[in-house]
Amino acid sequence: MTAYDYFSIAHGALATISISLAAIVLGVPLGLGLALVRWSRLPVFNQFATGYVSVIRTCPSVTLALLIFFALPEVGLSLDPVPAGILTLTLSTAAFNTEIWRNALMNFPRDQYEAALSFGMSRSVRFRRIVLPQIIRASLPALVNEMTLLIKSSPAVAVIGIVEITRAAIRVGARTYEPLPPFVFALVLYSLIVFLFVMTQRYVERRYAAGAAA
């Protein structure tokens, strides 16, 4: 492996991190929105959200990426690889995040909600002040878990031409006929990225614990 090979795989890590982060930033609130739709049982929208989650959960990321990249031009929507990749990962992670948020909403203590009602809080204040802070805390471990899974499923978007860590490693191996060294380096990079996410989660949890104690 040349110095450039290491650089190309590290450059792939940048792609992995940026498309994963974009999918997280879009997918976590989208999941929350869909979970609220399901929780409030909005007619029509509720069925749509249920259908969305069921369909996306059964669809492998690679298939979804191919569908978005190659089938959407048939109906006149031609996306470049990067937006198509972000869309794929966002749609996929949002479905799983919906279930995580929904779980927290279903377990939300009803007496607190009723107490807020009796204080005459408006719907939005109730949600922002009472519900949201607590469901975030309850969902955090599962959300971070889903984020690490997302990072590891991101090689799926390589099929539409995004060069992330795994694809960059495959390219090096295909040229040198020595696949082991680039894959070991790729593994090190994945470990580092996941480690950073888990560290951030621990930090946030400690902050919450300190806040609760104060």
Partner 1 sequence: MLERISFRFNRRALLRALPIVAVSAVLVAGILANGLSAAHADGVADIKKRGKMMVATEDDFKPFEFMEDGVSKGYDNDLLAEVKKSLPFGVEQQVIPWAGILPGVTTGKYDIAVTAVLVTAARKPTFTFSSPVAQSTTFFATKAGSSIKKAADLEGKTVGAQAGSAMLADLKAFDASLKAKGGKGLAKIVEYPSNPEAYQDCALGRVDAVVNTEINLRSLVKEKAGVFALGEGIAKPVYIAWAMKKGNTDLAKLIDAAIIAAKKSGKMAELQMKWFGTSFKEMPDDVN
Based on the shown chain and the rule CB under 8 A, indicate whether residue 170 belongs to the binding site for partner 1.
yes
Map tokens 């480690």 to a residue: 195
Rounded distance between C-alpha atoms, residue 7 and residue 13, angstroms: 10
Based on the shown chain and the rule CB under 8 A, indicate whether residue 81 belongs to the binding site for partner 1.
yes
Based on the shown chain and the rule CB under 8 A, indicate whether residue 212 belongs to the binding site for partner 1.
no
Dihedral angle of Cα 128, 114, 34, 149, to the nearest 10 degrees: 80
Of 23-31, 85-93, 153-161, 189-197, which part binds partner 1 (CB under 8 A)? Answer: 153-161
Rounded distance between C-alpha atoms, residue 210 and residue 157, angstroms: 40
Q: Give the one residue of 58, 76, 120, 212 binding partner 1; rule: CB under 8 A.
A: 76
Name the residue nearer to partner 1 (CB basis): 4 or 203. 4
Angle subtended by helix axes 132-153 and 81-106, to nearest 10: 140
79, 135, 151, 180, 213 from 21: Cα distances, Å = 19, 21, 9, 28, 31
Based on the shown chain and the rule CB under 8 A, indicate whether residue 185 belongs to the binding site for partner 1.
no
Residues in CB range of 128: below 8 A, 6 or more apart: none
Among 5, 43, 49, 2, residue whose Cα is nearest residue 171? 5
Q: Give the one residue of 171, 181, 201, 204 binding partner 1; rule: CB under 8 A.
A: 171
Q: Give the one residue of 58, 120, 177, 212 binding partner 1; rule: CB under 8 A.
A: 177
Based on the shown chain and the rule CB under 8 A, indicate whether residue 102 belongs to the binding site for partner 1.
no
Name the residue nearer to partner 1 (CB basis): 19 or 36. 36
Based on the shown chain and the rule CB under 8 A, indicate whether residue 160 belongs to the binding site for partner 1.
yes
Where on the chain is the footprint of partner 1 (CB under 8 A)?
2, 4, 8, 36, 39-45, 66, 69-71, 73-78, 81, 108, 110, 113-114, 117, 123, 158-161, 163, 167, 170-175, 177
